[in-house]
Amino acid sequence: MVRTTVLDRLRPSADGGLRQAVPDAVAPFAIWHAALFGLAAFASAYLAPIATGVAGRSEPIWSHFDADYYLGIADHGYSAGPGDEWAFYPLYPALVRLLGYVGGGGHTAHVVAGLVVANAAGLVASVLVHLVVRRDFGLGVARRACIYFAVTPLGFYLSAVYAESLFVLLAVATLLLTRQHRWIAAGAVAALASATRPPGVMLTLVIAAEVIVVVVVARRAGARVPLLRPLVGVAIAPTGLIAFLAYGWIRTGDRLVTFHVNAHRWHRELDWPWVAVGHAVRDTTWGDPGNYLFGPLNLTVLAVCVVALGLMVRRFPPTYTVFTAAMIALPVCSGQLQAVGRAALPIVTVLIVLAELTRSRTSIAHQMVVAVSAGLCAVFLVMYVLLVPAIA
């Protein structure tokens, strides 16, 4: 009886379920991202010729920058040598290739498949955001968090030919399953995440943190918790990355090919976080939006995440704090701040903090957050269409 009470206290009820989550989550995401598709088409047709002096650009609007690598993997697979594409993880391009094959194969089919996978994953991710937030913070916070998720400033990447939306889906699903104490399912989903983007392996720490919380609370209550399933969940979480490394070893003869390519070709390797921050502050490209290491955007996103992390330490369940720290750790510890905005997309805990803050205030605060976020998202999308590297 004591054990049941302990587990009930650790696992908040999930009343409402999908019936409530789908309309609350899908509507804002679908409406806003449909508007983004219209804005992207307008920017490509009317603004790009003015900015570039070239009319009638033929490349797809939603497949710039890193999308070229994902599509290259879908088209041709990984090379036998340490090519640049080894920095990109395989699950998303594998799904694109599979769906593209169903659609007839070829590069154009892969572009369409990439858009379908990304947008479908974004919709599902929005529903999962609602489910996980409602479990611990209530319906009002969940609804606001879903709106903020839809209009987050770099959220247009959730509709582009990128792995971001798939990774957000898997990361949030791992958090939800972990909070439900469905350990093996959480580990399996985390394994898929670790084969999607580099921070996915950090979800192992999220599952482990919840296991520790369960054990500590149970022991304080004089109860025992079976540890076999939790430990299995933790153990299988990094297997997606392990499988990718094994494939890379077989393909190239290099056991750590993705890490070596990241270090030597993309200049990303583990270092202390203050090294990356220091480089961003001192970088001569600080005011140059034509550079990938655009300091102001990356430092602003990092500052928001750090402030949110500080606010949630004592107010949120510990697993949320670990989730936030885990998702931002690799981008910050890579020696340089690059694409921090995209790296922060899975950190839905920041949106929860924002929803909690605006819930206790007038609707004007909520409306201002939505307006500012949506406005920035529109501006950044136009920059993406115009191939401005600052937001890449």
State how far the Cα of 204 lies from the Cα of 226, in Å rounded to an integer: 19
Cα angle value 182/187/23 (rounded, 5°): 60
Contact 128, 172 (CB under 8 A): yes
Q: Distance from first CA to last CA of the chain, Å, rounded?
A: 53
pLDDT mean for each 10 residues of the chain (392 residues): 39 61 93 96 89 60 92 96 95 97 91 96 97 94 95 96 98 97 98 97 98 93 90 98 98 96 91 90 78 87 95 93 95 90 93 89 87 96 92 86
Q: Residue 224: what pLDDT?
A: 86
Q: Residue 21: what pLDDT?
A: 86
Query: What crossing angle do the helices spanning 363-385 and 348-359 adopt, rounded to 10°?
Result: 150
State the DSSP code for 90.
Answer: S
State how far the Cα of 160 lies from the Cα of 167, in Å rounded to an integer: 13
Q: Residue 12: what pLDDT?
A: 47
Q: Residue 111: what pLDDT?
A: 95
Contact 150, 33 (CB under 8 A): yes
Cα angle value 72/76/81 (rounded, 5°): 90
Q: Residue 61: what pLDDT?
A: 85
Q: Residue 134: what pLDDT?
A: 95
Q: Residue 54: what pLDDT?
A: 55
Q: Residue 55: what pLDDT?
A: 54
Q: Residue 347: what pLDDT?
A: 94
Write the CA distances from 34 to 26, 31, 109, 218, integer angstroms: 12, 5, 21, 47
State how far the Cα of 112 lies from the Cα of 168, in Å rounded to an integer: 20
Q: Residue 2: what pLDDT?
A: 33
Both tokens of 259, joined, read 């890490």
The one-letter amino acid code at 207 reads: I
Q: Is 253 exposed, middle or buried (0-12, 13-18, 19+ CB in 10 A)?
A: exposed
At 257-304, the pLDDT tens digits run 999 999 999 888 899 999 999 988 887 677 788 888 788 899 999 999
Q: Residue 53: what pLDDT?
A: 62
Q: Residue 273: what pLDDT?
A: 92
State how far the Cα of 124 lies from the Cα of 170, in Å rounded to an integer: 10
Contact 294, 285 (CB under 8 A): yes
Q: Residue 336: what pLDDT?
A: 87
At 40-58, the pLDDT tens digits run 999 998 898 887 665 555 5
Residue ranges of the alpha helices (H) in the chain? 2-10, 17-42, 48-52, 67-76, 91-102, 107-137, 139-151, 164-179, 183-194, 203-220, 228-236, 239-252, 257-264, 273-282, 295-312, 318-332, 340-343, 348-359, 363-385
Least Cα distance to 326 among 183, 182, 226, 178 occurs for: 178
Q: Residue 49: what pLDDT?
A: 84
